[in-house]
Amino acid sequence: MTDRQVQEPTRLVLTALADAPRHGYAIIQEVLAISEGRTRLRTGTLYTALDRLLQQGLVRIEGEQVVGGRLRRTFALTEQGKELLTEETRRLRLAVLEAERRLGTARLRPNGASA
Amino acid sequence: MSERHTPQVGRLLVGLYPARYRELHGEDIAATFAEATEGLGRRELLRERLDLASHALRLRLRIGPTDPAGRVLAGAAPVALAIAVGACLAYLLPGLGEVADAFAGASARPRWALVVAGLFVAFSAPWIVTLLFAALGRWRPARRVAVLAIFVDCALMVVLGQTYGVAGEALRLAVLGALVLLAPPDLVDTGRRGRWEVTAVALLVGLPLAGASQGAAVLIGIPIHSVPALAATWAFVVAAVLLLLHLSARRPDRLRGAGIALGASPWLLQYLPAGPLSALMIRTGTEFLVLVGGAVILGGLVRLLRRTLGTEPAEPA
């Protein structure tokens, strides 16, 4: 699944699940932390993304537990999900490296030098 | 799950989900919603509730991101929006001329010049902002501004006392709004290709029409934009070309292809109030069917040819 760019909310959900399985509210909190407060997933949006990721086989239901009287279902990345996130990370790293290289070139160029 | 932990509104909202989905995910969603809404302000709480209701209704209407209808709508919404922006662009050049004329005579009627300029900005600015958001891959803001643009268009029809074709125009705008709002936002292609398509469709619809309109105004004294049927025909041509490109690709997404055809359909509906068998409706409907049908047949032929020449592997069973 590399023919389509992963949208940011999807990437953030996958990243939130990359190191450990998490339940819905924990994913919301992780996404908020990863995005440095820029992206606050709403409940409906989170479950819309999870529905799709579950159907695509990128995420699976890890288990269910009752904590403090509340049922919590934990979600985890599948192997396919890990592969997609790895591929997406590689693509982003290349884009960042290229941007840094070009910015570095611009900084090194002395004032008034011809391009 | 203990009832005391789930707010009443949360329980009501979870009740909106289809029974089977609610049985599988209801408790989990209710628990997450309860935690996510703790300590939220009134405005954020309202947004959370609307978001959850929207998810539930999408599932109930079977237009979620995992439903075929949801994928068709996700293909339709950007095309419908791009065509609408293109139609606005087609009016932009003649409109600029009218604003310039009004300001040229501003010394005699200064207020009139400001009114013309104000109406021009009110009509065109939301659509231009919509295109900018869509071109930047910001679908949610694009969708919000598009809805605003639709409301402004409707308001202008009322304010200006437009009478001819109002029912058709209102129907077109209503269907456009429904397509844009119902499409699952996270399924709309906001990648490089999707952004390029929205921009290209808007420009390909708008700029030739604007040029032709100016040319016709100079040559025969009647601007083409005063004949909406021509705008519809041209919009169908552009949509058909996009559909052909999609269907002749190596791995065509047929549901998205159906969405492209659906995205052009609001222009077909604007003649429906005249009657399903009116001359305009039959003409426009025939144009739509011929162009879309032609794109489907041509796309199929291109893929067949490619397969015959061995440059495309057969579809897996």
**List of chain B residues whose C-beta atoms are within 8 Å of the C-beta of residue A43:** 29, 32-33, 36-37, 48, 51-52, 55
Site of tokens 């095309």: B79
Using the beta-carbon criterion (under 8 Å), do B31 and A72 form an inter-chain contact?
Answer: yes
What distance in Å separates residue B184's CA from the closest CA in chain A?
9
Q: In whole angstroms, what is the distance from residue A59 CA to residue A76 CA? A: 6
**List of chain A residues whose C-beta atoms are within 8 Å of the C-beta of residue B189:** 4
- Cβ-contact B261, B250 below 8 angstroms: no
Rounded percentage of chain B residues whose pLDDT exceeds 70: 89
CA angle at residue A50 from A45 to A56, to 5 degrees?
130
Handedness of CA B24, B30, B35, B41 (dihedral sign): positive
The 10s digit of each residue's pLDDT in B155-203 is: 888 887 777 778 888 899 999 999 999 998 888 888 888 999 999 999 9
Chain A 2-61, residues with CB within 8 Å of chain B CB atoms: 3-5, 7, 9-10, 23-25, 28, 42-49, 51-52, 55
Residue-by-residue DSSP string for A13-74: HHHHTTSS-EEHHHHHHHHHHHTTTS----HHHHHHHHHHHHHTTSEEEEEEEEETTEEEEE
| Residue of A47, A67, A72 to mutate, interface with B, max B Cβ within 10 Å | A47
- Cβ of A73 under 8 Å from any chain B Cβ? yes
* Strand, coil or helix: A113: coil
Residue among A5, A25, A52 minimizing CB distance to B35: A25
**List of chain A residues whose C-beta atoms are within 8 Å of the C-beta of residue B183:** none
The type of residue at A32 is: L
Residue among B31, B64, B251 minimizing CB distance to A48: B64
Kindly provide the b/e burial profile for residues B75-85, where b requires at least 16 CB atoms within 10 angstroms of the residue's own CB. bbbbbbbbbbb
> B223 — alpha (psi -120 to 50), left (phi > 0) or beta?
beta
Handedness of CA B46, B47, B52, B54 (dihedral sign): positive
What's the mean pLDDT in B304-312?
Answer: 80
The type of residue at A52 is: R
Q: In whole angstroms, what is the distance from residue B73 CA to residue A73 CA? A: 30
Site of tokens 């998490």: A22
Q: In whole angstroms, what is the distance from residue A63 CA to residue B292 CA? A: 48
Q: What local confidence, expressed as pLDDT, does residue B222 receive?
A: 61
| Gap between the terminal Cα atoms of chain A | 40
Q: Which residues are CB-contacts of B82 (< 8 A; sequence separation ≥ 6)?
A: B131, B134, B197, B198, B199, B201, B202, B205, B263
Q: In whole angstroms, what is the distance from residue B241 CA to residue B258 CA? A: 13
**Cα R_g (chain B), whole angstroms:** 23
The two most distant CA atoms of chain A are separated, in Å, by 69
- Which chain A residue lies closest to B58 (C-alpha atoms)? A48
The 10s digit of each residue's pLDDT in A85-115 is: 999 999 989 988 988 888 887 666 665 554 4
Model ipTM value: 0.83
What distance in Å separates residue A54's CA from the closest CA in chain B?
10
- Cβ-contact B236, B288 below 8 angstroms: yes
Q: What stretch of H or E contains A75?
A: strand A70-77
What's the mean pLDDT in B105-112?
Answer: 69
The 10s digit of each residue's pLDDT in B202-242 is: 999 998 888 887 776 666 666 555 556 688 889 999 999 99
Q: What pTM does this model have?
A: 0.79
pLDDT in tens, chain A (115 residues): 444 456 778 889 999 999 999 999 999 999 999 988 888 899 999 999 999 999 999 999 998 888 777 778 999 999 999 999 999 999 989 988 988 888 887 666 665 554 4
| Gap between the terminal Cα atoms of chain B | 45
